[in-house]
Amino acid sequence: MSEPDNSPNADRSHSMSRKEDLHSMRKSTKAIHAGALEHSVYGEISVPIFQSSTFIFPSAEEGAARFAGQSPGYIYTRMNNPTVNALEENVATLENGFAGIATATGMAAITTVFLTFLEQKAHVVSTDCLYGSTRTLLENELPRFGVESTFVDSSNIENVRRAMRPNTRMIFIETPTNPTMKISDIRAAAEIARQHGALLVVDNTFASPYLQRPLELGADIVIHSLTKFINGHSDVIGGMIVTAKEETYKKTRKLLNALGGTMDPHQAWLILRGVRTMPLRLEKAQQTALQLAAFLHAHPKVTWVCYPGLPDHPQYEIAKKQMDGFGSMLCFGVARGIEGGATLMNNVRLITLAVSLGGVESLIEHPASMTHTSIPRQEREQAGILDELVRLSVGCEDFEDLREDLEQALNKIP
């Protein structure tokens, strides 16, 4: 009787076959299985945490070959790590991209993309309503290096077209926007970018690859804060860059290795664990978000509701066309402005008053005084971030419990 082959390469052919098959499978299957190692060490089903700063070379010749890029082996975790690579492959597969690049934070991903593709005298056309730190970077920091930005309401694609210049190198959009929930037409923006020889970069954090895949619509680069829906448990931060083409990937990877904003393997393992349940979490959360949006729409202390799944949302038809669902983020206005919002947030009992989003727990916050306070008031209001706006990240709790909590807190507004 022959002994079983327990060598590291014993299951390689099976793993490679499954990896190739994954590209034709559905997104929930990809979330669970993409990123599996090509071979296991002991037959483990979970990707191990390779908590090692450096890796042994079997020979001097192999070490030289790895540094020369002639061998795919590992050198140093800042450059590559098996656990981090597993996460990169998982998210890239979900986005149907060429490859992923994991970063220490979402802002590390955004900064790396900007520094890779923007040079002196370059111009960026950007969504006006952005994550606060992204706008601060474009508006206050990059001009020190000779980069200019024009901020427009990209939900009207003609605004993007009119803002283009001969030196425009990038169109940067968030869709849905943070926190106003506006939707931009990705395919139309990609066409404008191509016509002008510019890159289209999409921050896909609010939708996640489960609901929206910008690369399929013509984008060149997709960015995620992995902290949010992809991880989904409010316990780790991280970022991801996914490119459509190999050339873009290599250029971005090279700069990230030089900057050092890379991800730790333990971070990667936690996020890889989280992404496996993303489809389940998002299906539950977005179902509840639609119910809550309808409830809020009818409440007398709520002045307006913005949720892409409501037919009165201005870009409802675009959302239906380019998204697989409407997500679990919404914003709404409350009577009595900031005072009313403070009353609401100070009186919720189940919903947590905290920034961030995309976790299993529901979170509520006031962008004008919290996440977007670094943006001058006039610019905030021009972007639609009004004092009365409250942002709600709907989690996986029961709808009735969330509804009751919001109702009792809203009823305390004078």
pLDDT in tens, the chain (414 residues): 333 333 333 343 444 456 678 888 999 999 999 998 877 778 888 999 999 999 999 999 999 999 999 999 999 999 999 999 999 999 999 999 999 999 999 999 999 999 999 999 999 999 999 998 999 999 999 999 999 999 999 999 999 999 999 999 999 999 999 999 999 999 999 999 999 999 999 999 999 999 999 999 999 999 999 999 999 999 999 999 999 999 999 999 999 999 999 999 999 999 999 999 999 999 999 999 999 999 999 999 999 999 999 999 999 999 999 999 999 999 999 999 889 999 999 999 999 999 999 999 999 998 877 777 777 888 787 878 888 899 999 999 999 999 999 999 999 999
Query: Is 279-410 in CATH node 3.90.1150.10?
Result: yes
Identify whether 165 is a catalytic site residue. no
Which residues make Cβ contacts (< 8 Å) with residue 361, sequence separation at least 6?
234, 352, 395, 396, 397
Task: Of 37, 19, 38, give the one whose Cα is nearest residue 29.
Answer: 19
Q: Which of 74, 131, 210, 307 is catalytic?
A: 131
Identify whether 74 is a catalytic site residue. no
Q: Which of 203, 220, 264, 405 is catalytic?
A: 203
Identify whether 307 is a catalytic site residue. no
Q: Is the pTM of this model over 0.95?
A: no
Asked if residues 223 and 239 have their Cβ atoms less than 8 Å apart, the reply is yes
Q: Which of 27, 66, 228, 281 is catalytic?
A: 228
Identify whether 131 is a catalytic site residue. yes
- In the sheet with 363-365, reading across from the earlier edge strand, the strands are 302-306, 329-334, 389-393, 363-365, 352-353
Bridge partners, 222 (sequence order): 202, 242
The domains of the chain are located at 12-275, 279-410
Could you tell me which CATH class the domain 12-275 is placed in? alpha beta
Q: Which of 12, 19, 78, 273 is catalytic?
A: 78
